[in-house]
Chain A
């Protein structure tokens, strides 16, 4: 799997007529011939009511799900050709996840949690430590490196989760309702962090139903009943 050089003209995410059909009774078309492109450095918010297919889209983009039909190119690589193991490797190298419920390991320190972010990349441990330090510094959590997550506030936990995603140095930061468990002040701080990361050139896709979060993104996409539409 050789990645083409990433330049401004090459989309990070390119969905080409992607559909996802769930074999339930009756069958659910969670994505309906979706075309969706994310260029490097973009900061995209995906909004939509619950059950609209937001999560399916996120799973698709995050390589956690496969399309029923259509093509998905990540960094120009056709992911439909990849084996399960290659998709896992692609996740490790190219995608950083941030979840609503943080998904931090409660019995590991902040630093260990961040290091797990680049554990499956095959990077040497020494380099991983450097990366974890850098990522923690980026989110301003270096002073909490030896804490366990249970001693942190919600906002701090989400910053650690962002640092874990950043440690992998991904092409794409994929956030699923990142502010869902945060209060207004922490939400604001996290969005400031996203602005800051975006300014540094990171590509961010945020799924949210919070209008404040969506408003801060540079581009908004709405999904309803599996169909995608740009929003101004």
Chain B
């Protein structure tokens, strides 16, 4: 066995340049396999991280189709915060309803007498809604439970609406008219990640909307959960919101993050593994080709070894060993190159490189397998040589 290793190493190292070029195919094949699997894993992880934050913690509850917010019976209540916020895993919750009104929005004449009235969507919201949709108040403040309880006529403007109305400073308590009613602008919301439309709307407390616009129940409840709690909350929300008729609600929770990740990875992996395998086959053909040429070149040596008492088995083992060794070298270099590619790509994209530990460990054995397969035919050819003919043919 030690002899075989010696002879194999000597055989490979006899022509180092050729050995390197021979392994190139395997190097490329395994490097691309390691790199593609690594990158797909890294990017898959990245994709998950990206929608983790927003989607994995969001639960939506709506009135089932066919039962509108204004129809009887009202299935969604407004006091969602008191019903949901005590559930373990709920960070914030809130409800909203579209206000159906044709009333134009305009600023108080004091501010801009020439302002043209515009129609913008009016949204009725509960106190927790802004927090639940991960909204951000740029200027001023949001309305709270106190405003709602008193039915104060206050409004939070979307940033787009505020720009259009030329309202940026709230220190002198500007007012806007919706129809004939005056509302005091107490805040400007410049971002709402789960309800981007808010930036182009005007938001009023739900109690005011009920009084002024005959709004009944909310048509959407948004719950912001802790990470990992979304599916649990989704199972509880309907009952908490509508104990009498939980089936009248539809609850949408994010798909399991892990499952999503696996699905994404699966798609990518399928393609990449195919590409890597193709290059591996090309690499194997390369090894087979060069090994066959080497066998033909070393006809004399094979004849000599047979004359010295080597059986066909010894010859076959040596040739197989050499091709396996080249595959192994290709595997080691390929794995290293693949890891470098993963790291470089990750660094370039500012990703965290993620690599299954078995990947670099498995690459060299995979190279050996490739080498063995590639060496099969040449080794059979070498073993079949007749010593007499081989001795005569080679020097």
Give residues in A with beta carbon < 8 Å to B: 59, 62, 64-65, 84-85, 88-93, 95, 97, 99, 101-103, 105, 107-108, 112, 116-117, 119-121, 125, 164, 168
Contacts and interface: CB of A to CB of B under 8 A. Distances in A.
Contacts of A84: 311-312
A226 B395 CA distance: 26
Nearest to B298: A105
A92 B310 CA distance: 7
7 contacts: A64-B388, A91-B307, A91-B308, A99-B304, A107-B14, A117-B308, A120-B308
Interface in B329-361: none
A173 to B, nearest CB: 13
Contact of A168 (B2, B308, B391): B308
Contacts of B2: 125
Contact of B309 (A89, A99, A108): A89
Given A59-B388, A101-B395, A64 B308 contact: no
A112 B9 CA distance: 13
Given A91-B308, A99-B304, 13 more contacts: A59-B388, A84-B312, A85-B313, A88-B306, A93-B309, A95-B307, A101-B300, A102-B395, A103-B395, A107-B10, A116-B305, A119-B7, A120-B308
Contacts of A117: 308
B3 A97 contact: no
Contacts of B391: 64, 99, 103
B392 to A, nearest CB: 8
Given A103-B395, A119-B3, A125-B2, A62 B312 contact: no
- Pick the most buried of A85, A91, A168: most chain B CB atoms within 10 A of its CB: A91
B314 interface: yes
Interface string B1-23: 01100010010011100000000
Task: Label chain B's interface by main secondary structure.
Answer: helix
Interface residues of B, number: 25
A119 B305 CA distance: 9
Nearest to B13: A107
Contacts of A91: 306-309
A106 to B, nearest CB: 8
B301 interface: yes
B307 A64 contact: yes
Interface of B: 2-3, 7, 10, 13-15, 300-301, 303-314, 387-388, 391, 395
B300 A120 contact: no
A120 B313 CA distance: 11
- Pick the most buried of B308, B311, B395: most chain A CB atoms within 10 A of its CB: B308
Contacts of A112: 10
Contacts of A101: 300, 395
A92 B308 contact: yes
Contacts of B14: 107
Contact of A88 (B3, B301, B311): B311
The 8 closest A-B CB pairs, nearest first, are A92-B309, A120-B309, A107-B14, A88-B311, A103-B304, A91-B309, A101-B395, A97-B307
A89 B3 CA distance: 17
A103 B300 CA distance: 7
A225 B69 CA distance: 115
Contact of A120 (B314, B387, B395): B314
A72 B282 CA distance: 50
Contacts of B15: 107
A19 B325 CA distance: 45
B10 A108 contact: yes
